[in-house]
């Protein structure tokens, strides 16, 4: 899997300035190690969507009070729940890198963040190819913890996707996923003629430190 260098740089906090060669080499080394050691896993389920009002939506057996998610899914009759993980080896690699140096640890964290997003992008593309045969397209991913979409719904993802058995992800009492480089998200299904936007221009988090420049 190609881990986008520019995305790693963005997660490291660089904006319009390129890091020095030493950091670029650390990025290349971390990316090579991840490609050698990491085997991502993904899972999904397709569920019906019922929109009750402007801030309440039901996705299968998950009832959500969230104005942001309801806006994201407005007009959708179905949605995918997805989950992806880099696995426990990713956490091990970060710990080992931190022992070497804070810089190595930061680069590994950033490389893994870019990798899990690339995994989700690739998985979403697979789903897009499936549904385009039905003249459907996909909305932008929307994850628990974003905006007013409560992290409490991670429990619903665990239940509906059987994440422990399907991809080896568990949930702590504080609603953190283990392995830590794991992602859950809702992806709405829309009519093919609808124009969809998947980059940061569609995101409401205007002050996000990792926001891509338009």
Model's pTM, two decimal places? Answer: 0.88
pLDDT reported for residue 70: 97
Provide the b/e sequence for 27-40 (b: ≥16 CB within 10 Å).
Answer: beebbeebeeebeb
In a domain, 32, yes or no: yes
For 40-57, how does the pLDDT look when each residue is reduced to its tens digit (9 = 90+)?
999 999 999 999 999 999
In a domain, 136, yes or no: yes
Among candidate residues 78, 73, 90, 80, the one with its CA nearest the CA of residue 34: 90
Sign of CA dihedral 179, 70, 131, 200: negative
Question: Which parts of the chain are beta strand (E)?
Answer: 41-53, 56-59, 62-65, 78-85, 136-138, 170-171, 177-178, 182-191
pLDDT reported for residue 1: 83
In a domain, 212, yes or no: no
**Lowest model confidence (mean pLDDT) among 48-52, 152-156, 183-187, 190-194:** 190-194
State the helix-helix crossing angle for 102-131 and 88-100, rounded to 10 degrees.
160
Percent of the residues in the chain that have a pLDDT greater than 70, as a whole number: 90
pLDDT reported for residue 21: 96
Tell me the residue range of the domain where 36 lies: 5-202
**Residue 142, phi then psi, degrees to nearest 5:** -140, 115
Number of domains in the chain: 1
- Which pLDDT band, with edges at 50, 70 and 90, does 16 fall under? confident
pLDDT reported for residue 114: 98
pLDDT reported for residue 98: 97
Contacts of 197 (CB under 8 A, 6+ apart): 140
What rounded mean pLDDT belongs to the chain?
91
Given a cut of 80, whether residue 31 has pLDDT beyond it is: yes
Q: Which residue has the higher pLDDT, 1 or 137?
A: 137
CB 183 within 8 A of CB 143: yes
**Residue 137, phi then psi, degrees to nearest 5:** -130, 175
CATH number at residue 139: 3.40.109.40
Q: Which residue has the higher pLDDT, 206 or 189?
A: 189
For 111-166, how does the pLDDT look when each residue is reduced to its tens digit (9 = 90+)?
999 999 999 999 999 999 999 999 999 999 999 999 999 999 999 999 999 999 99
In a domain, 210, yes or no: no
Report how far residue 202's alpha carbon sits from residue 196's, in angstroms, rounded to the nearest whole number: 9
- Which pLDDT band, with edges at 50, 70 and 90, does 15 fall under? confident
């Amino acid at each position: 899997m190609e881990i986008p260098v520019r995305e790693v740089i963005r997660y490291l906090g660089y904006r319009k300035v390129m890091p020095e060669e030493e950091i670029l080499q650390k990025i290349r080394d971390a990316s090579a190690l991840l490609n050698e050691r990491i085997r991502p896993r993904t899972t999904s389920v397709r569920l019906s969507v019922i929109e009750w009002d402007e801030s309440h939506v039901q996705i299968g057996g998950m009832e959500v009070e969230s104005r942001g998610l309801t806006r994201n899914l407005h007009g959708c009759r179905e949605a995918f729940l997805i989950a992806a993980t880099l696995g426990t080896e990713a956490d091990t690699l970060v710990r080992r890198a931190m022992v070497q140096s804070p810089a190595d640890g930061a680069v590994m964290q950033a490389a893994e963040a870019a990798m899990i997003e690339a995994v989700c992008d690739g998985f979403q593309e697979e789903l897009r190819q499936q549904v385009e045969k039905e003249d459907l397209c996909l909305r932008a991913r929307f994850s628990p913890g974003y905006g007013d979409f409560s992290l409490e719904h991670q429990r619903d993802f665990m239940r509906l996707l059987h994440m422990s058995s399907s991809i080896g992800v568990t949930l702590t009492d504080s609603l953190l996923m283990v392995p830590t480089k794991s992602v859950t998200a809702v992806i709405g299904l829309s009519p093919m003629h609808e124009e969809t936007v998947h980059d940061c221009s569609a995101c409401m988090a205007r002050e996000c430190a990792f926001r891509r420049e338009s």
